[in-house]
């Protein structure tokens, strides 16, 4: 008989003992260890995931901040560039304006200088012209010329205006001092006589006269009495000529100042 | 000619006896239990662990995985029973490399004992899983006519389990014994190697068949609601 029933029973008992032993010493501890490890790994993975998520979030935050910073920097840079450009334009305009002003001022100064120089030159020229004229006429003034002058003077006496004549006559009559006849040179006696005669005839009275010489009179004769004076001399002509020239210059100056207006308009930007 | 280690009797007192089967079984129990105890004394839950621990984890998780693949929805429940069957049969076969050793699985008494355990365990787990009436109803599925055939199949498969394992293990030792008398030097070693392979295959077959039977007994519960819905 191959089956020994006692052995069968004993083996069943043995088997259950083995089951119990292995459960106690093998399956339970090993499975517990595996479970514990799996839990631990899961926990570590979860924490790693959380850390990764946090890191990702931080990286995103940082990236966002970085982008913000870049944008801000770009804005500031462009603003600064704009400001610099504006400032440069402003300074440039200012400098141009200043330069323009300076130029205008200098031009004006130059014009003033030129005009004053011109004035000085014209004054000097005028002066020189008159001086030359006076000198020339003085050089030409001789006794014969004096004769001619006496003749002219007498003719003018005769041709004198009635009103002036009466006024002068009244003045001559009123004056106690003799009337003064001035000339450049000493008049010869014949000339004096002609003059005396002409005066007497003109005023129909005996006129007392005194003859004097004066270097101021370039060429001519002057009759003065009690503040009144009748004269004919080249000096008078020259004086009136000088006055006319002065007036002409004054007139010339006036339009010149008016001419400056368009220049100013052109220079201003 | 000795067919079974039952025949080697060390001590006997009437019906009670101490034969080689029981003694070698005790030896295996001692080896397995002490080995497991020694290794699991310092189990680490860290990522670093000893090679022995790795080995045990591979064995335990491998068995668990196999049971899951067979169709047991909660393999850990059956790990103690089915895993121990596998480890006992495998250890019994592997120890044939020691001279003088007689595998206890080469005794029909041992294989019958194991088969009886399976024979009891199947209705036990079936009733625990789906209740007594449900389990008993499964014998009359699909029709009550199938009841005797189901009972016959239950008994015959238990018998088949016992005989298959006994035949394989016994034949292994028998072949070696015979070959030793014919070609005593080289050929028996090859046969021993082959015997190791056969022993492992038998351990696998025995435990997987037991798992399949238990799975069949417990799986009805899962499939039945689906059929009711149809």
pLDDT digits (tens, 9 = 90+) for B103-124: 999 899 999 999 999 999 999 9
The reported pLDDT for the residue numbered B190 is 85
Q: What is the pLDDT of residue B95?
A: 92
Local confidence band at A251 (pLDDT 50, 70, 90 cut-offs): confident
User: Please, how many CA atoms are within 13 Å of residue A37, restricted to the half-sphere of its CB?
Assistant: 16
Q: How confident is the model at residue A156 (pLDDT cuts 50, 70, 90)?
A: confident
Q: Which residue has the tokens 């100064």?
A: A109
Q: Is the pLDDT of residue B6 over 80?
A: yes
Nearest to A218 by CA among A196, A194, A239, A234: A234
- For residues B152 and B92, give the distance between their C-alpha atoms in angstroms, rounded to a whole number: 30
What pLDDT score was predicted for residue A268?
Answer: 42
| A27-59 pLDDT per residue, tens | 999 999 999 999 999 999 999 999 999 999 999
Q: How many CB pairs under 8 A join A and B?
A: 118
B-chain CB neighbours of A21 within 8 Å are 29, 32-33, 36
Determine contact, residues A212/A138, Cβ cutoff 8 Å.
no
Query: Hey, is B4 helix, strand or coil?
Result: coil
3-state secondary structure of B13: strand
Query: CB–CB of A18 and B114 under 8 A?
Result: no
Q: B114 and A11: CB-CB below 8 Å? A: yes
DSSP string, B64-88: HHHHHHHT-S-HHHHIIIIIHHHHH
Determine the Cα angle at A177 with ends A173 and A178, to 5°.
75
Is pLDDT at B167 greater than 80 in this prediction? Answer: yes
pLDDT for the residue numbered B140: 86
Does residue A142 have a cis bond before it (omega within 30 degrees)? Answer: no
> Rounded to a whole number, what is the distance in Å from the CA of B102 to chain A's nearest CA?
15
Minimum mean pLDDT range among A223-227, B60-64, B226-230: B226-230
Q: Are B19 and A10 in contact (CB under 8 A)?
A: no
Gap between the Cα atoms of A211 and A150, Å rounded: 13
The residue-averaged pLDDT of B172-184 equals 82
DSSP annotation of B8: -
Lowest-pLDDT range, A48-57, B170-179, B190-199, B205-214? B170-179
Q: How far apart are CA B80 and CA A20, in angstroms?
A: 8
Can you give the C-alpha Rg of chain B in angstroms?
20
Residue B94's SS3 state is: helix
Q: What is the mean pLDDT of chain A?
A: 83
Instruction: Measure in Å the smallest separation between the Cα of B68 and chain A Cα atoms.
Output: 15
**What tokens does A81 get?**
């560039």
What local confidence, expressed as pLDDT, does residue B100 receive?
85
d(CA B90, CA B39): 19
User: Is residue B230 predicted with pLDDT exceeding 60?
Assistant: no
Residue A62 has a pLDDT of: 96
Sign of CA dihedral A4, A10, A12, A18: negative
Check residue A260 and give its pLDDT.
45
What does the pLDDT read at residue A255?
60
Task: Name the residue ranges covered by the structural domains of chain A.
Answer: 11-118, 143-239
Position of tokens 């007497």? Answer: A200
Give the pLDDT score at B197: 92
Nearest to A221 by CA among A261, A254, A194, A203: A194
Q: Confidence class of residue B182 from pLDDT cuts 50, 70 and 90?
A: confident
For the stretch A95-137, pLDDT in tens is 999 999 999 999 999 999 988 888 888 788 878 887 887 788 7
Confidence of residue B58 (pLDDT cuts 50, 70, 90): very high
On the question of pLDDT at B136 being above 60, the answer is: yes
The nearest CA of chain B is from the CA of A3 a distance in Å of 5
Per residue in A204-218, is it b (16+ CB within 10 Å) or e — as a string?
eeebebebeeeeebb
Domain boundaries, chain B: 5-229
Residue A171 CB partners (closer than 8 Å, separation 6+): A225, A226, A227, A228
Q: Considering only alpha carbons, which residue of chain A is nearest residue B16? A: A6
Residues of chain A that touch chain B, judged by Cβ-Cβ distance less than 8 Å: 2-12, 14-19, 21-23, 25-27, 29-34, 36-37, 40-41
The 3-state DSSP class for residue B152 equals helix
Residues B81-101 have pLDDT tens digits of: 999 999 999 999 999 888 888
pLDDT of A151 higher than 90: no
């Amino acid at each position: 008989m191959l089956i020994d029933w006692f052995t069968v029973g004993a083996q069943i008992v043995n088997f259950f003992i083995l089951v119990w032993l292995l459960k106690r010493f093998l399956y339970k501890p090993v499975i517990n260890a595996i479970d514990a490890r799996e839990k631990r790994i899961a926990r570590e993975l979860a924490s790693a995931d959380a850390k990764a998520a946090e890191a990702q979030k931080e990286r995103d935050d940082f990236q966002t901040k970085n982008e913000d910073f870049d944008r801000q920097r770009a804005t500031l840079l462009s603003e600064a560039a704009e400001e610099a450009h504006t400032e440069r334009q402003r300074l440039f305009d200012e400098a141009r304006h200043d330069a323009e002003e300076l130029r205008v001022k200098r031009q004006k100064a130059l014009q003033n200088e030129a005009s004053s120089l011109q004035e000085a030159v014209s004054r000097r020229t005028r002066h020189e012209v008159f001086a030359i004229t006076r000198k020339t006429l003085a050089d030409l003034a001789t006794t014969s010329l004096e004769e001619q002058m006496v003749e002219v003077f007498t003719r003018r006496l005769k041709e004198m205006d009635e009103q002036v004549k009466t006024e002068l006559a009244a003045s001559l009559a009123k004056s106690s001092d003799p009337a003064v006849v001035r000339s450049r040179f000493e008049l010869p006696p014949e000339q004096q006589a002609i003059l005396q005669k002409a005066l007497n005839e003109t005023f129909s009275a005996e006129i007392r006269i005194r003859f004097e010489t004066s270097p101021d009179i370039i060429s001519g004769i002057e009759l003065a009495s009690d503040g009144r004076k009748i004269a004919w001399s080249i000096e008078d002509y020259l004086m009136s000529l000088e006055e006319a020239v002065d007036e002409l210059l004054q007139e010339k100056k006036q339009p010149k100042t008016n001419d400056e207006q368009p220049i100013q308009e052109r220079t201003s930007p | 000619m000795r067919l079974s280690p039952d025949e080697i009797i060390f001590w006997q007192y009437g019906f009670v006896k101490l034969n080689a089967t029981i003694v070698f079984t005790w030896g295996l129990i001692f080896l397995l239990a002490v080995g497991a105890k020694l290794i699991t004394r310092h189990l680490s839950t860290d990522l670093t662990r000893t090679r022995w621990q790795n080995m045990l984890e591979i064995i335990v998780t491998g068995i668990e995985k196999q049971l899951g693949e067979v169709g047991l929805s909660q393999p850990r429940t059956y790990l103690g029973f089915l895993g121990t069957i596998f480890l006992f049969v495998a250890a019994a076969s592997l120890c044939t490399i020691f001279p003088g050793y007689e595998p206890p699985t080469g005794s029909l008494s041992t294989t019958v004992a194991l088969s009886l355990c399976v024979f009891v365990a199947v209705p036990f787990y079936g009733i625990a899983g789906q209740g007594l009436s449900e389990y008993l109803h499964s014998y009359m599925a699909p029709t009550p006519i199938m009841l005797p055939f189901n009972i016959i199949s239950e008994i015959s498969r238990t018998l088949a389990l016992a005989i298959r394992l006994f035949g394989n293990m016994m034949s292994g030792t028998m072949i070696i014994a015979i070959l030793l008398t014919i070609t005593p030097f080289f050929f028996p070693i090859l046969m021993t190697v082959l015997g190791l392979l056969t022993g492992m295959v038998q351990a696998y077959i025995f435990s997987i068949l037991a798992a399949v039977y238990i799975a069949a007994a417990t799986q009805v519960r899962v499939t039945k609601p689906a059929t009711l819905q149809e």
